[in-house]
Amino acid sequence: MSRQTEITIEAGSDNVYADLGYADAAEMQRKSQLVAEIARSIKARHLTQKGAAVLLGIDQSKVSRITRGQFRGVSEAKLLELVAKLGRDVKIVVGPVRRRAGKIELQFA
């Protein structure tokens, strides 16, 4: 007779980094969204990592690390710059806050 193991499933939030307990979860999520856009843009332009590195002005090894999700040492500002270099417009809008603290949100068109 087989023994059944009970599996508990816990619903997560929309931020996996928060679910994992990262203190900088919101920043990590934004950076991961930017990295995903960088990877999509590189693929859409049919660039090799070497070609992307030349276009972006960074080492091929850094392109590789970033597109594999190793972006902890890369600032959001740098990632925004890379997105722009890949032919995407970056627009930052500052507006009034409707609650105590403001938030930073990315939207991709």
Work out the angle at residue 98's Cα, subtended by the Cα atoms of residues 94 and 100, and round it to the nearest 5 degrees.
100
Q: Which two tokens stand for residue 99?
A: 């609650």
Interval 14-43: pLDDT, tens = 899 999 999 999 999 999 999 999 999 999
Question: What pLDDT was estimated at residue 2?
Answer: 66
- Cα→Cα distances 92→4, 6, 12, 108, Å: 53, 47, 29, 12
CB burial string 4-18: b at 16+ within 10 A, e below: eeeeeeeeeeeeebb
Averaged pLDDT, 2-16: 84
Q: Domain 17-85: which topology?
A: 434 Repressor (Amino-terminal Domain) (1.10.260)
pLDDT of residue 102 exceeding 80, the answer is no
Q: Where are the domains of the chain?
A: 17-85
Specify the pTM. Answer: 0.80
Interval 72-100: pLDDT, tens = 899 999 999 999 999 999 888 888 877 77
